[in-house]
């Protein structure tokens, strides 16, 4: 890649920087030639992709998160199946900690970035949690909402809202770590009422 490049080329991971001093027209032309050459090389080496996976989060070119929702459910379901097959006990003392430690993290990893946008995506994730709650013995007669309430849990949608509210609060606190009353008034938080998650 360096062959034919006249300027200094710095490479790190997926970043490439071209540096050079320009004090003459020839220097400007040299940098432009190197930029053109790098662009041609990049077009040869890099294919355009309609989706990108970064830090485990799948994002498509339109920032649609449906593929990420499907991927999260696809990762969580086999773990839930393994819990179902390998645990003889169906008590809440066994199933609930396993769900919280092994399944739910797949459904909530980086959720502030890729939160589901469509009802079908939300339903796909909630279905995993409903399957897990059905594993617990003694709650079969209850509806899904009543099971969650009995176990002291929230729906995944309410957990996302809770996480978003915490993120907003931390943003409003700022670097000082103090939440000033005038800061809240400036953002329209005071006087809007209190939101309950339950």
Identify the bridge partners of residue 54 per DSSP, sorted by sequence position.
57
First-to-last C-alpha distance (Å) of the chain: 58
Mean of the pLDDT values across residues 56-62? 82
Q: How far is CA 109 from CA 3, 9, 52, 72, 128, in A?
A: 42, 36, 17, 8, 15
Percent of the chain at pLDDT above 70? Answer: 79
CB–CB of 13/42 below 8 Å? Answer: no
Higher model confidence: residue 135 or residue 16?
135
Residues 39 and 57 in one domain: no
Position 42 confidence tier, pLDDT thresholds 50, 70, 90: low
Residues 182 and 110 in one domain: no
Higher model confidence: residue 44 or residue 32?
32
Give pLDDT, residue 57: 86
Task: Tell me whether residue 30 is in a domain.
Answer: yes
**Strands of 49-139, DSSP E:** 51-54, 57-60
The parent domain of residue 196 ranges over 154-198
Phi then psi for residue 126, to 5 deg, are -65, -30
Confidence (pTM) = 0.64
Residues 106 and 137 in one domain: yes
**CB within 8 Å of 133: residues ≥ 6 apart:** 139, 144, 147, 148, 151, 153
At 77-135, the pLDDT tens digits run: 999 999 999 999 999 999 999 999 999 999 999 888 888 989 999 999 999 999 999 99
Task: Tell me whether residue 3 is in a domain.
Answer: no
Give pLDDT, residue 50: 76
Give pLDDT, residue 134: 94
Residues 148 and 72 in one domain: yes
């Amino acid at each position: 890649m360096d062959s034919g490049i006249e300027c200094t080329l710095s490479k790190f991971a997926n970043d490439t920087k071209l540096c050079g001093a320009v004090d003459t027209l020839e220097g400007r032309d040299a940098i432009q030639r190197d930029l053109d050459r790098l662009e041609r090389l990049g077009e040869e080496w890099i294919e355009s992709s309609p989706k990108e996976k970064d830090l485990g989060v799948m994002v498509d070119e339109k920032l649609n998160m449906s593929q990420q929702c499907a991927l999260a459910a696809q990762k969580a379901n086999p773990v839930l199946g393994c819990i179902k097959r390998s645990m003889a006990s169906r008590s809440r003392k066994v199933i609930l900690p396993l769900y919280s430690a092994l399944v739910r993290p797949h459904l909530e990893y980086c959720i502030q970035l890729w939160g589901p946008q469509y009802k079908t995506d939300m339903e796909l994730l909630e279905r995993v949690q409903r399957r897990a709650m059905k594993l617990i013995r003694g709650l079969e007669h209850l509806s899904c909402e009543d099971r969650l309430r009995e176990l002291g849990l929230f729906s995944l949608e309410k957990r996302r809202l809770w996480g978003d509210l915490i993120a907003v609060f931390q943003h409003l606190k700022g670097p000082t770590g103090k939440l000033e009353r005038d800061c809240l008034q400036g953002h329209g938080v005071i006087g809007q009422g209190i939101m309950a998650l339950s």
